[in-house]
Amino acid sequence: MAVNNSLKSKKIQIQDNQFKMMEGLRAFSQSSISNEEIKQDRISKLYQNVKKSIQEDQLDAFDKKVRKPYQQVKLLKSEYNRLISKKPYSFVAKIMGHKPY
C-alpha cells in the first residue's frame, strides 16, 4: 500500500510540474503550444526552442517558470522509473498497473 501511494505521489508531482512548465512555455512562446505536444515527450524540443528565443531580460522569469519545473520533471521521472525497476517495488508496480515513463 505504501509503495502504491509513493508511486501515485510521484505521478502527481510529475503532472503538476509538467503543468507549471506548460504554462511557462506558453507565456514565453510566440506560437501556441498544445497539450498534446507537452504530453508526447516533445517537452525537451519545445524547451530548447523557447530557451533560444527568449531575451536576456527574461532569463530570470524563464528560470523560475520553465527551467526549474523542467528539471523537476526529469528528476521525478528518473526516480519513478528507478523505483519501479527495483525488485520488491516492481512486483507491486506490476500488480497495480504502474508503467515506466
The verdict on pTM exceeding 0.85 is no
What's the pLDDT score for residue 3?
81
- Separation CA 59–CA 55 (nearest Å): 7
pLDDT digits (tens, 9 = 90+) for 30-85: 666 666 656 556 777 888 888 888 888 888 889 898 899 999 999 999 999 998 88
- Separation CA 86–CA 34 (nearest Å): 35
What's the pLDDT score for residue 78?
92
Treating both helix axes as pointing N-terminal to C-terminal, what angle do 68-85 and 87-96 enclose, rounded to 10 degrees?
100
Torsion angle, alpha carbons of 69, 75, 76, 79, to 10: 180
Average pLDDT on 86-90 reads 84
